[in-house]
Amino acid sequence: MNFEEAIKDVARRSRHNAEIAETEEATKMAVIVPFIRALGYDVFDLSHVVPEFCADVGIKKGEKVDYALKIDGKVAVLVEAKPFSTNLGSVQYSQLFRYFTVTDARLAILSNGREVWFFSDIEEKNKMDKSPFFKFNFENYDKFQLESLQKFHRDSFDLDAVLSTASVLRYSDLASGYLKRQLHDPDENFVRFVGKEIYDGSLTKGVVEQLKPSIRAALESIVRSEISEKLGVAFQPAVRPEVQVNQDNADVLSVALEVVTTDEEAQAFLIVRAICAEIADVDRIFIRDTKSYCGVNFDDNNRKPVCRFWFNAKSVKYIGLFDEERQETKHEIASVSQIYKFATHIRKTVSAYL
């Protein structure tokens, strides 16, 4: 299988074993070893993968790292595994820090079978950074993240390119986090930075407070415009169906023109597309809006429903899911983000159409 298929296989293993692999060893066998293999390493060849790697020089005696990945006889990557139940944000991984300084490795991987965190020495050479430069989530990844992950494949491994990528990913991630915070609640420095370009007078504290809601609204408008521009083609068939006007179908046209795909329905559609991306080409996932509900179909075929959004009521929202007999069951949701709770069911429905 190719790289994308190999990662999909690991993602499937992660979902399947998340609740039953209770120990670190079980997590290793279920996901970590298949993931190392997906990166191009022969897990049965000690010149590729050394389990329980130990390097006592200058560090605590007898301490081991779960795996050392080798290229051309040298340790290139250190791998530390944790159980599925582990929160990587609070876990201790002191072995990786110590081993980073006494081996040739410039990369370290920490994983709990759900997420994979990549570390390097961007801040200070030969000293592992305290925060990862790249995070990969088997349950939720996109094409860009998959392409970034492929750069760590053994067959195309280029340390200089990887370290360059690490620097870009780290700072782009930090920049993304900063911009997200500004989108939600612009701070004074950011408002003043933008204010210098749009306001002629003195930026007093009162002026800054007046500008703040305008700048936040502008940021939200830019995001909406970008989404609308990039995804307009995907929604166009549902929002503006082509109907030839004549006396016989005048009523049909009247109903069609009343159909408006809301922002929530559009967001829900994107979530379903992301869920389906793991097993199918997203171009085969179509939105089909109606006056009563907003439907998602496979291959734009009404006989292949994926799910339905019942968002028209003012006080409650439902997602309609289908069983093997195409019978629909509605489930109440508080927000569109809760659609991810039904990811397994949605993928199962789509799998039946493949």
What CATH number does the domain located at 3-174 have?
Answer: 3.90.1570.30
How many residues can be counted in the chain?
354
> How much is the pLDDT for 244?
46
Q: Is residue 207 classed exposed, middle or buried when 0-12, 13-18 and 19+ CB atoms within 10 A define those classes? A: middle
φ and ψ of 321, to 5 deg:
-115, 155
Task: Output phi, psi for 242, to 5 deg.
Answer: -85, 115
Neighbours of 147 (CB within 10 A): 11
For 70, the enclosing helix (H) or strand (E) is: strand 64-71
Q: How far apart are CA 47 and CA 44, in angstroms?
A: 9
pLDDT of 62: 64
Where do we find the tokens 């997602």?
319
Q: Determine the pLDDT at residue 225.
A: 66
Going from N- to C-terminal start, the domains of the chain cover 3-174, 188-236, 250-351
Which pair of tokens denotes residue 44?
Answer: 């049965």
Strands (DSSP E) contained in the chain are 49-54, 64-71, 74-81, 107-111, 115-119, 134-137, 285-289, 294-298, 305-310, 317-322, 328-333
* Beta bridge partner(s), residue 298: 285
β 328-333/115-119 pair status: unpaired
What is d(CA 86, CA 71) in angstroms, rounded to the nearest whole number? 29
Query: What pLDDT does residue 307 have?
Result: 95
Q: Which two tokens stand for residue 194?
A: 């933008």
Give the Cα separation of 180 and 31 in Å (integer): 32
33 in Cβ contact with 44 (< 8 Å)? no
pLDDT of res. 56: 60
Could you tell me the pTM of the whole model? 0.53
Contact 233, 220 (CB under 8 A): no
> pLDDT tens, position by position, for the chain (354 residues)?
799 999 999 999 999 988 888 889 999 999 999 999 999 999 999 999 999 888 665 555 667 888 999 998 888 899 999 999 888 887 766 767 777 777 778 889 999 999 999 998 877 887 888 888 888 999 888 888 898 898 889 988 887 777 777 777 777 777 878 888 888 888 999 989 988 888 888 888 888 888 888 888 778 777 766 655 554 444 444 444 444 444 444 444 444 445 678 888 888 888 898 888 888 888 889 998 888 899 999 998 888 999 999 998 878 899 999 998 889 999 999 888 889 889 999 999 999 998
Ranges assigned E (strand) in 120-198: 134-137
